[in-house]
Amino acid sequence: MIRLVLADDQVLLRQGLRMILEAADDMDVVGEADDGAGAVALAVEQGPDVILMDVRMPEVDGLEATSRIRALMPDGPRILILTTFDLDEYVYASLRAGASGFLLKDTLTADLLSGIRAVARGDAIVAPQVTRRLIERHIGSAGDPLPRSESDLRELTEREREVLGLVARGLSNAEIAGRLFLAEGTVKGHVSRILAKLDLRDRVQAVILAYECGLVRPG
């Protein structure tokens, strides 16, 4: 069973999510919080596998809550940000704080469930069209220097750099395999080595690093 905590200040949204999630045979909601402080407390008390975290909440928002949970529990629950995107300006910062990805609040039920399962098994959820817009907003804007340089990628082979660039553009392993004429298992191996060499937790951090280093550019 995937044990979940819901953190959102909208009661109706939490109720709707609980109904959807508990209808799945492999999911169990073990707690609800209406702000970030409550989410942190439940993370410590319940030790869930995944926390569905809203960004904008009173007192302690999702960004701060994510940062606190990662500090208290580095190997603790995976955090999946739920956002309305156009209103939430802190999603990119949340990913840097340690979230494993994000989904839009109007995502289809099947995509939500598959996303939670992916995050629970250690993968990351990166919505390509949203990633591009967030990166454009937060990285490499005029007069804003990139925090990393391409030299940070020096340990990667040419093939690994090519794979990382495609990961940063939001392609799945299967799509990368088709693009590069490789077996999907080979691509998975490349991704694993990239994460290990760069000391990254998941694909989300890989996307961020690729943009920060200038391997791929916004737009």
Buried b (16+ CB within 10 A) or exposed e, 147-156: ebeeeebeeb
Treating both helix axes as pointing N-terminal to C-terminal, what angle do 203-212 and 158-168 enclose, rounded to 10 degrees? Answer: 100
pLDDT at 96: 75
DSSP-derived 3-state class of residue 71: helix
pLDDT at 16: 94
Rg (CA), the chain: 17
Q: Which residues of the chain have pLDDT under 50?
A: 142-146
* pTM (predicted TM-score): 0.71
Query: Tens digit of pLDDT for each residue in 141-191?
Result: 544 444 556 667 889 999 999 999 998 887 878 889 999 999 999 999 999
pLDDT at 97: 79
pLDDT at 142: 41
| Structural domains of the chain, with CATH | 2-125 (3.40.50.2300), 150-212 (1.10.10.10)
CA distance 96 to 101: 10
